[in-house]
Structure 1
């Protein structure tokens, strides 16, 4: 069972945006958005912070992949958030796999004495996993919320939450952090 959320908690919402939504198959996108919304409300109430992280294909590093190399064009709507930020929430744009790579996220969190990150969003096996791994390597306590995270491949999602994520941090459900009636 995870500890209660506190002022030392940051909710990292990875790629909960229009451009990644059509590919998610593990949970209905609306269910994930509702879970993230509940987590954000409870995090803010506890004095923690919510950080909305958007992937921008135009900020992709130069390395060559099977899909090409470097920045890629994307329509403006690709980056539209599926959940409105509240006053005081942070905004971050990432190009690399992890929200920590090539950004000032670690410095922002440390400046606010954040020691725990709750990582949620889309997609489990892409930005969520990479961000959780980096957070662990940087010494943060990591919490991964299964029903507030989505992926194109339900089997890969289940595998990460059952076999790998318990080695990175605490695996839980939204209701365990916010209460059964807060969603």
Structure 2
């Protein structure tokens, strides 16, 4: 079943922000490729019955997670002032009436945010999921969405990571168990044929 009902659909874009997208080593897709695919999806849904959700992370300072792990990361210095700014211009266009922003402080977009409330009050049951990094923000959000009984469509070529092998493992081994994995072109076709 690859039918969409736009008024029940949200495009959820994870961490497409300057402080993450500007880092070196994105793979299998570059920041430019990621931006191009996300722009296509966003533009196809702006000012429709669907919802476009720009999610950004702010997890430094007092909001930073500090559990003890085997892969401890040295505390980062204060990030640049534009760290959380979205790389998509459409995130800030006031003419777009179906756009919301969600600030998160954890890996996933649901825990500790109002994302679930924003989606449920609009009757949304399907999430088209994109962004970066595949293995952190996108994966955690996909798992949270699945556990909250949302239909998840993970757009493989509209997300990327810093480890291409893990990107492939997650998109092929995990996301197919949480929902559907599609390409940007396949999702654009679904949007075009949506009710």
Q: How does the TM-score come out when normalised to structure 1?
A: 0.90
Instruction: Select which of 67, 71, 74 maps to 2:73.
Output: 67
Classify 1:61/1:49 alpha carbon distance in 2 versus 1 (closer, same or farther; 3 Å): same
Name the structure 2 match of 1:53: 55
CA RMSD of aligned residues (A): 2.1
Distance across 2 between alignment mates of 1:48 and 1:72: 38
Mark the CA change 1:45 to 1:173 in structure 2 (over 3 Å): closer, same or farther. farther
Report the TM-score when normalising by structure 2. Answer: 0.84
Give a deviation string over 1:137-176, Cα, whole Å, max 9, x none.
0010000000100100011001111111100000000001
The number of aligned residues is 180
SS of the equivalent of 1:78 reads coil
Contact 1:5 1:177 in 2 (8 A): no
| 1:16 to 2:16 alignment | yes
2:181 maps to 171
The answer to whether residue 179 in structure 2 is matched with residue 159 in structure 1 is no
Helix, strand or coil: the match of 1:77?
Answer: coil
1: CA distance, partners of 2:180 / 2:65? 30
SS at match of 2:102: strand
Match of 1:32 among 27, 31, 34: 34
- After superposition, residues 14-163 of structure 1 pair within 5 angstroms as 14-21=14-21, 22-23=23-24, 24-44=26-46, 46-58=48-60, 59-65=63-69, 66-67=72-73, 73-84=78-89, 85=91, 86=93, 87-88=96-97, 89-163=99-173
Mapped partners of 2:5, 2:80: distance in 1: 36
2:53 counterpart SS class = strand
| Residues 76-95 of structure 1 deviation map (CA, whole Å, 9 limit, x = unaligned) | 22112110214231111111
Secondary structure of 1:164 counterpart: helix
Q: CA deviation at 1:73?
A: 3.2
Q: Distance in 1 between matches of 2:37 and 2:3?
A: 18
1:45 positional shift: 5.2
Indicate conservation of the 8 Å contact 1:5/1:46, yes or no: no
Point out where structure 2 has 5 or more consecutive residues left out of the alignment: none
* Structure 2 contact 59–65 (Cα < 8 Å) conserved: no
The answer to whether the Cα contact below 8 Å between 1:4 and 1:177 also exists between their aligned partners in 2 is: no
